[in-house]
Amino acid sequence: MVTLKKSLNLLAVILFAITPVFSFAQQSVETAVDVTSKTDAVAIEEEHVAVEKTQADKVAEFIDHHLKDDYSFIFFADEAEGKKYGFSLPVILIDNGLKVFMSSEFDHGNKLVEKDGQTYRLYHSKIYKTDAEGTISYDEKGHPSNEKPLDFSITKNVASLFFTTILLFVMFLGLARTYKNGPNNLPKGFARVLEPLVLYVRDEMAIPNIGVKKYRKFMPYLLTVFFLIFLLNLLGLTPLGFNVTGSISVTACLAIFTFFITQFNGNKDHWLHIFWMPGIPWPMKIFLAPIEILGAIIKPFSLMVRLFANITAGHSVVMGLIAVAFLYQQSLGVGGSVGISFVLSTFLVVLEVLIAFLQAFIFTMLSSLFIGMAVQEHEEH
């Protein structure tokens, strides 16, 4: 399994490395933005350097937008009419009181929003406090320095997590009902798909790593993590713009849960092997203790980075290969470019489905391994 994982990671890295060949890595040039108000409306117009965006620039922006979190779902856009089709999400700000409104009031960053005497602007997928003209100030490094309100908005990632949570409840409540009349009752419908996966997590991850006596305590967490990551990864392959596991904050939260569950359930042998390893000369214990402490921190960090990096790289590669159809329409013709893009993206999507399962499996497997190392009883010889 480790060899297969390394091979898939190597393939993803190679494909990600060759995407610049498809001319998609050009960067758009922007200067500082001056904002002026327009008549009665609160519309904003950004003044950029007079450089026309190439097709590659538009593709790069689209991929960047897909990977980022946002305050609305955008399914597609009509460049000719300048319209974007989708639906907005609630914006919830705490700034001298609670302020709630729909993100559609920002008009995708083209308008200012005034609430209770305070003006807000959506700029590069973040909300800043500004003046009536929508002025954005910059620091020495060119980053916006405007104050930001405390933001509890329902963004794409938050909405995706709510949707996945509801989906998990529906799925597992249906599975639980099948066992209501006895453990030998066979599951029906979609529950037949869930039962083998639940047994797989129990028999292949929890019991081998944690042990028969203690695995039951950690099964709810392991099942939650496995199915949450797996469903979020599968939803990330849909055109709806889900990229929850490609957010470093989400993977960090999952890794922190594993870290605290591991440490709070660790027995005395676990802590003894970290701070004062038995059977080792005491001068070496002084040098090994800091390494063991660092190792306890690195374990959840590796969980966080592995999940984030693999999902982000996979989405970037798939979106980049789909963009080939648009970048090479003139040289290859519509039929040729679409054919190449279809073949490559289909192969990558199939690979992404496998990676979606592998990432859920690896995160859950390593979490159960770390927990098992903390709760197991050591026999000293």
Q: In what order do the strands lie in the sheet with 150-151?
A: 98-102, 90-94, 150-151
Would you say residue 353 has pLDDT above 80?
A: yes
Select from 51, 6, 54, 55 the least CA-distant residue to 31.
51
CA distance 345 to 322: 6
pLDDT given for residue 64 in this prediction = 64
Would you say residue 86 has pLDDT above 70?
A: yes
Among 152, 181, 216, identify where a domain stops: 152
One domain for residues 112 and 254: no
Of 4-18, 49-63, 78-92, 264-278, minimum mean pLDDT range: 4-18
- The token duo for 144 is 């916006």
Tell me, yes or no, whether 229 lies in a domain.
yes
Tell me, yes or no, whether 11 lies in a domain.
no
Q: How many domains does the chain have?
A: 2
**Most confident segment among 32-41, 207-216, 325-334:** 207-216
pLDDT given for residue 82 in this prediction = 64
Tell me, yes or no, whether 315 lies in a domain.
yes
One domain for residues 316 and 370: yes
One domain for residues 163 and 191: yes
Count of other CB atoms within 10 angstroms of residue 263: 16
One domain for residues 229 and 267: yes
* Strand ranges inside 138-203, DSSP E: 150-151
What does the pLDDT average to over 309-321? Answer: 75
Higher-confidence residue: 17 or 82?
82
One domain for residues 168 and 94: no
| 258 burial via Cβ count (<10 Å: 0-12, 13-18, 19+) | buried
What does the pLDDT average to over 350-360? Answer: 84
Element (H, E) at 308: helix 282-322
Tell me, yes or no, whether 294 lies in a domain.
yes
CA distance 348 to 50: 37
CA distance 174 to 194: 10
* Strand ranges inside the chain, DSSP E: 72-78, 83-88, 90-94, 98-102, 113-115, 118-123, 126-130, 150-151
pLDDT given for residue 36 in this prediction = 37
Would you say residue 207 has pLDDT above 80?
A: yes
Tell me, yes or no, whether 328 lies in a domain.
yes
One domain for residues 61 and 190: no
Would you say residue 45 has pLDDT above 80?
A: no
- The token duo for 265 is 């359930």
Tell me: the pLDDT tens digits for 222-270?
999 999 999 998 888 776 767 888 888 899 999 999 999 988 888 777 7
Q: In what order do the strands lie in the sheet with 113-115?
A: 113-115, 118-123, 126-130
Higher-confidence residue: 192 or 254?
254
Select from 71, 74, 250 the least CA-distant residue to 155.
71
Model confidence band, residue 73 (pLDDT cutoffs 50, 70, 90): confident
User: Nearest 10 degrees: CA dihedral of 84, 36, 58, 249?
Assistant: -80
Tell me, yes or no, whether 138 lies in a domain.
yes
Residues 253, 224: contact at Cβ < 8 Å?
A: no
Tell me, yes or no, whether 21 lies in a domain.
no
One domain for residues 146 and 177: no
What does the pLDDT average to over 263-290? Answer: 76
One domain for residues 167 and 129: no
Residues 53, 59: contact at Cβ < 8 Å?
A: no
One domain for residues 92 and 201: no
Residues 9, 308: contact at Cβ < 8 Å?
A: no
What does the pLDDT average to over 145-173? Answer: 89
Q: pTM (2 decimals)?
A: 0.74
One domain for residues 348 and 223: yes
pLDDT given for residue 342 in this prediction = 67
Among 152, 175, 192, identify where a domain stops: 152
Tell me: the pLDDT tens digits for 115-142?
888 899 988 888 999 988 888 888 888 8
Tell me, yes or no, whether 1 lies in a domain.
no
Among 135, 152, 169, identify where a domain stops: 152
One domain for residues 143 and 204: no
Element (H, E) at 26: none
Tell me: the pLDDT tens digits for 57-72?
666 666 666 667 888 8
The residue type found at 8 is: L
Would you say residue 27 has pLDDT above 80?
A: no
Higher-confidence residue: 281 or 359?
359
pLDDT given for residue 30 in this prediction = 34
Of 43-57, 301-315, 354-368, minimum mean pLDDT range: 43-57
- Please give the residue range of the domain that contains residue 323: 158-375
One domain for residues 134 and 215: no
Select from 308, 217, 305, 298 the least CA-distant residue to 261.
217
Dihedrals phi, psi of 139, to nearest 5 degrees = -90, -170
